[in-house]
Structure 1
Amino acid sequence: MPQPVTFLPDAERILSRQQGLLSTRQCEEFGVTRQTRCRLVQQGRWRRPVRGVYDTDPVPLGSRVRDDWFTHAARWRTWLALLSHGPDAVAVGAAALVLHDVQGLPADFEPEVAMPDGSRRVSRFGTLRQYRPFPTLRVGDREVARLDHALAQALPVLPRESALAVLDDVARRLGMTPDRLATVHDLLRGRPGAKRVHALFPLVDARSESPAESAARLSCHDNGVPPDDLQARFVIDGTVVARVDFVWRLPDGRWLVVEVDGVGPHSTARALVRDAPRQNRLLASGRVIVLRFKPADNARPGGIGRQVAAVLRRHDWHPAAYPAPTTPIDLTPPAAQRSASRRSGMDSP
């Protein structure tokens, strides 16, 4: 029976950070000889995805079953690009965003690396890029483009919906204030492909809770129906009964609610069970119309925004004509509101 390969704790930590990948140099440092590596590959216990890099997980990336697959895949691809270019390779663009833990990148992004000496060696995996000088910081044992410069490098080559999702994410989770985003905007100027990104900056909203929400909201803007509000709260009898992704206030006083399922707070079976009674209470009020979408619906012609626009046209909605209130939306029936007001008056001294 083949003996398992064991590593010291320090090596295990590196393996974990690099998603199970090791370079030839690291294998030698950890005592895994060339003979052992060849045997492991021949036995199908390790794989060699590119020259000079070994994967200690024999299951191909696309066949792995894990809850964090998308995050794992993004980091695996990033580390494969870095390790294949040697210990001096610097993570730039989308690869740097991955190591900064930024969400919203497409699954098929191209990892980019740069060499500090400006060399143009043949790329083994990913894309070798040479940018004008930029500041870096260390993540683990690697040099990584600083977040603002990584954004400026990556945004021009990302699909629009991914670019907005990335910007929403850094605004929500990584402390990108409007002033810092303005700096990123300035760094973009003059870069190839930057022109189409400029229009996204006014749409950045830190309340967006997932890449799918960002993509759906962009589709709504593209179709001329920007939401009146995000993460709006509905109350009945003084109790919050729902917080929803997007709302539009209709001319007749009702509300159109749009929810994007399958991501973030709606992703688990428990969440879906919890959402059902919440939706029922909204619909029972007679003052709410609910549309639910899957992220894949945005890939259809016109995206989610086209379907939302069709509903809003039937209700004669116009942008900004009926702005949502800044306070929670009260669905308490008018009779109950009057009764509560009278009770409050009687209780007053």
Structure 2
Amino acid sequence: MRYPTELPAALLALAQAQEGLLSSAQCERHDVGRSRRAGWVRSGRWRVVTRGVVDTIPVLPRRRTVANVPRDALGPFVRTELDLALRRSSRATAATHRDRSANDRLFDHLRRRAGWAGLLAYGPEAIAVGGCALAFLGVEGLPPVIRPEVALPRASNRPDRPGVRLRQFDDGMTTVAHGDRRTGTRLIASPEWAVAQAVPELPLDHGLAVLDSALRLELLTPAGAARAHDHARGRRGIALRHELWEWADPAAESWLESAARWQCIEEGVPPDVLQLPVAGRSGRRVGVGDLAWRLSGDTWLVGDLDGFDWHEGVERSERRDRDRDNAFAAAPGIHLLRFDSRHVRERTVGRQVREFLRTHRTAPNMQLRTF
């Protein structure tokens, strides 16, 4: 990604940290005045995001690729006040630092860009809330495109900005600090409040994925998730989403798994186990099944959510998946159904699992759940 060479080094570093965005006030502090900004906008080198905020990446967000993502953007804030007293588990640490695909990095950029757009539009008092706070916190499962949203202590005294949602400040809302030496300290809603604000407004599968991710990253403890549920009560949309808290599980390892699991829940066939260890005939573990249903005795149906499409065509990953498929097929008592992101997008996972169980389970619970 290229920036105008005329940008001062400190302002360039700030734009990198903020996913390419700058506020008018920040530009003025670095002697980049209105006329220079207007000239770069007219030339197409910069774009106006909303009043008082410019995007220094000329490519439209919907046309961006991972090559347009700033290399030195401020990373996700995966830490809570509990860290001073408790160490996060190795599982949560591994989830935080897992390898990210090109699409993951692009979507993370677009979500955090939305968060910065709101913060920069409303200045130092602004607090990132809802989905934007979750994006800053590093929670997975949000839709690829989210709307900028912030809260202000005195929101009624401030005019709306185009494209930015100004939310009512929640009584009792707690915040955490986010930022580095480039951006300074900004405030975002704490994990409990961000989840409470976002989940009632998300599609059901995304809502479950957000809860799964917050628990997996240990941004929420079970008690914290219960408090988030309490904070969410009474919000528009929560009546259809109470059961998401019952199904949330930190064992889900990706948004894809959470979405597939929700389709199975909707079809009345929730998995019995997440992350089932699968042993070969020698007794040695050959893999872990993402979703599993007990058929009878030691016989299982395993739903695997990996594959060529999910790995973006990487040859090594494709070969690894084939090897695991063969190992699962040879494992005693294992029936394998393989799914990728296309099955999830087309919402066929739950239906295929239900049809399999209809013919193979000795005493299936086939009651369709409705929400």
Q: Which moved more, 1:98-107 or 1:282-291?
A: 282-291
| C-alpha distance in structure 2 between counterparts of 1:53 and 1:3, whole Å | 17
Alignment of 1:115-194 (within 5 A): 115-118=152-155, 119-133=157-171, 134-140=173-179, 141-194=185-238
Query: In structure 2, which of residues 324, 327, 331 is the aligned counterpart of residue 281 of structure 1?
Result: 327
Tell me whether 1:243 sits opposite 2:288 in the alignment: yes
Change (3 A) 1:253 1:282: same
SS at match of 1:256: strand
TM-score (norm 2): 0.79
Following superposition of structure 1 onto structure 2, how do residues 1-349 of structure 1 map, counting pairs within 5 Å? 4-9=5-10, 11-66=11-66, 67=102, 68-118=105-155, 119-133=157-171, 134-140=173-179, 141-236=185-280, 237-251=282-296, 253-261=298-306, 269=314, 270-285=316-331, 287-300=333-346, 303-319=348-364
| Structure 1 CA distance for aligned equivalents of residues 204 and 231 of structure 2 | 18
Q: Aligned partners of 2:7 and 2:228: how far apart in 1?
A: 44
Which is worse superposed, 248-257 or 176-185?
Answer: 248-257
In the TM superposition, what is the alpha-carbon distance from 1:300 to its structure 2 partner? 3.2
Percent identity reads 39
Deviation of the 1:317 alpha carbon: 4.6
Q: Supply the distance in 2 between the matched residues of 1:46 and 1:244 (Cα, whole angstroms).
A: 47
Supply the distance in 1 between the matched residues of 2:36 and 2:148 (Cα, whole angstroms): 30
Runs (4 or more) in structure 1 with deviation over 4 Å come to 262-268
CA distance in structure 2 between the aligned counterparts of 1:224 and 1:283, rounded to whole angstroms? 26
Post-superposition shift, 1:81? 2.3
Q: Following the alignment from structure 2 to structure 1, what is the Cα–Cα distance between the partners of residues 191 and 297?
A: 46
Looking at structure 1, the residues matched to 240 and 305 of structure 2 have their Cα atoms a distance apart, in angstroms, of 26
2:251 is matched by which residue type in structure 1? Answer: R
- Cα distance in 1 for residues equivalent to 2:299 and 2:289: 15
Larger radius of gyration: 1
CA contact (8 A) 1:84 1:125 kept: no
Is the contact made by 2:357 and 2:364 (CA closer than 8 Å) also made in structure 1?
Answer: no
Distance 1:275 1:262, change over 3 A: closer
Counterpart secondary structure, 1:200: helix
Unaligned runs of 5+ in 2: 67-101, 180-184, 367-371
Distance apart, 1:319 and its partner CA: 4.9
Cα distance in 1 between the residues matched to 2:8 and 2:45: 15
For residues 232 and 264 of structure 1, the distance between their equivalents in structure 2, rounded to whole angstroms, comes to 23
In 2, distance between residues paired with 1:114 and 1:291? Answer: 45
* Aligned CA distance change for structure 1 residues 31 and 213 (closer, same or farther; 3 Å): same
**Whole-angstrom CA distance in 2 between matches of 1:150 and 1:228:** 29
TM-superposed CA distance for 1:224, in Å, is 1.4
Using the size of structure 1 for normalisation, the TM-score is: 0.84
- Give the AA of the match of 1:46: W
Between the two proteins, the alignment pairs up a number of residues equal to: 318
Cα shift at 1:35:
2.2
Q: Does the 8 Å CA contact 1:20/1:57 hold for their aligned counterparts? A: yes
